[in-house]
Amino acid sequence: MYYKNDPLFPKNFMWGASSSAWQVEGAVNEDGRTSAIIDINSKKKKPYTDNSITADHYHRYKEDVKLMAEAGFSSYRFSISWPRIYPDASGVPNQKGIEFYNNLINELKKYNIEPIVTLYHYDMPVWVDEMFNGWYDRGIIEKFDEYVRTCFREFGDRVKYWLSINEQNMQICYGEWLGVCKNKDTWFEDKWKVNHIMNLCHAKAVIACHELVEGGKIGPVPGYVPIYPYSANPEDQIAAMNAEELTEKVWNDLYAHRKYNGFIQSYWKENNINPGIQEGDMELIEQAKIDFFALNCYRSNTAKACDINEEPQEYLLNKSGVKGNLIFPKVPGLYQLTYNPFVEYTDWDWEIDPVAIRYMLRYVWDHYQLPMMITENGYGAYDKVSPDGKVHDPERIKFLRDQIYQMGLAIMDGCEVISYNLWSFTDLLSTGNGMAKRYGLVYINTTDEELLDLKRIPKDSYYWYSNLIKSNGRNW
């Protein structure tokens, strides 16, 4: 629908930003924390930096929270590091790790900033990985349950919004990149077994949250990339629906309807895949009623038909930051992705498409009728400190303005959206581009090549966002 006036946001709308533990904290060997798989994984991606320091939020969280408060934040989405809470298999939680998150939560509460907490954002403890071969062995379910229950007991008196597993769909779709896949040769079938175990962990977290946190609400965090058909060719429409199923809808249907949908059951049958469902599993999943969807959305994709006789092609993402360095996937008989002639692209070949966020919110609302919050949305770029000592990031401001405006239109369209948390508050470690690909509202003075003083420099986008949120979305 077209509206004559700018969109209006609900009175108690929560505005904030987002991060994850391994990308922002640093202090990887301090106060009892042991290694996570992502520490090792991110080191492999050198020449980019590893996560031993990143933004040093572990030591500077007070300064960071103060900057959030000055900007007028009403929410902050962050994650808890599993190896900080359980550094080993002893079953004894690490008090120093608990203390850090208590301090962070209390600091946020001091400024009336609502904590929105992710339980798992890619940082599985190495001891868990070794004991259970990552997510491959069902033994992980009990350990995950033990960890999340500790989080709920320790922090549930103050944290009321919980998120289960960050981008489970992306971890399965990009298993190798995110360190979940252990054997490329058998991943085609293994991924569904791994995914089922993750679903059981998600279900356990939902059940435990409702049991242990008074007034607690919990939801999943899909990484959402809306898929458009390339043309009005009906076959392209079906291809877009196939891509939507195999990258998003299968997960979202499971979370919301608590069963595997007909599409994936046919896909498994057609491909002789056994997803490893055991007696009692679906009864457990059935009990895990989510309260909302947390959505990470940066871009859109475009799909067209792919003949069954085409050669399959894996998705090779652009990790270099030089435009044109990606290879789109081909899934014969289902879909292939392609460039969209109607949108611009970032240096990493990510579609710059503000309408995607409106489309996504409309789609998720229409399918599931659950409240939604945005937990990631942002613009990664090579920012620099100018000779005037400031960081001018007009492209980020334009990106955010357009995206937030479209979110506002979705709200006007009737979608229930309760919070917006852009990625990211400070610059932090990117999944594949170290500190070079910066998303923050606040610049962190360091580089991949050289550790500098880590000074916080609010960028132009920080001031712009602050102005917008202090007016509850009136000052564009």
Give the footprint of ligand BG6 on this chain (CB under 6 A). Answer: 20, 23, 166-167, 170, 223, 296, 376, 380, 423, 430-432, 437
Which of 7, 13, 156, 162 has the alpha carbon at shortest distance from 74?
Answer: 13
- HSE on the CB side for 199, CA within 13 Å? 30
Question: Nearest approach, Cβ of 333 to ligand BG6 (angstroms)?
Answer: 28
Q: Cα dihedral angle (190, 36, 314, 264), rounded to 10 degrees?
A: 40
Question: 342-379: string of b/e by CB count within 10 Å (b at 16+)?
Answer: ebebbbbbbbbbbbbbbbbbbbbbeebebbbbbbbbbb
**33 vs 299, which CB is nearer to ligand BG6?**
299
**199 vs 424, which CB is nearer to ligand BG6?**
424
Which of 317, 173, 184, 181 has the alpha carbon at shortest distance from 243?
Answer: 173
Beta-bridge partner residues of 161: 116, 217
Question: Nearest approach, Cβ of 392 to ligand BG6 (angstroms)?
Answer: 21
**302 vs 431, which CB is nearer to ligand BG6?**
431
The residue of the chain with the least Cβ separation from ligand BG6 equals 430
Question: Nearest approach, Cβ of 22 to ligand BG6 (angstroms)?
Answer: 9
H or E stretch including 364? helix 355-368
Regarding beta strands 456-458 and 442-444, do their DSSP bridges make them parallel or antiparallel, or are they unpaired?
antiparallel
Which of 199, 175, 183, 195 has the alpha carbon at shortest distance from 274?
Answer: 195
Q: Cβ distance 55 to 26 under 8 Å?
A: yes
User: Letter for the amino acid at 244?
Assistant: E
Of 114, 167, 244, 248, which is the active-site residue?
167
Q: Cβ distance 26 to 51 under 8 Å?
A: yes
Active site residue 114: no
Question: Nearest approach, Cβ of 29 to ligand BG6 (angstroms)?
Answer: 21
Count the helices and strands in the chain (H runs, E runs). 16, 16
Contacts of 283 by beta carbon, 8 Å cutoff, 6+ apart: none
Q: Cβ distance 220 to 202 under 8 Å?
A: yes
Question: Nearest approach, Cβ of 23 to ligand BG6 (angstroms)?
Answer: 6
Question: Nearest approach, Cβ of 352 to ligand BG6 (angstroms)?
Answer: 14
Active site residue 167: yes
**15 vs 48, which CB is nearer to ligand BG6?**
48
User: What residues are labeled active site?
Assistant: 167, 376
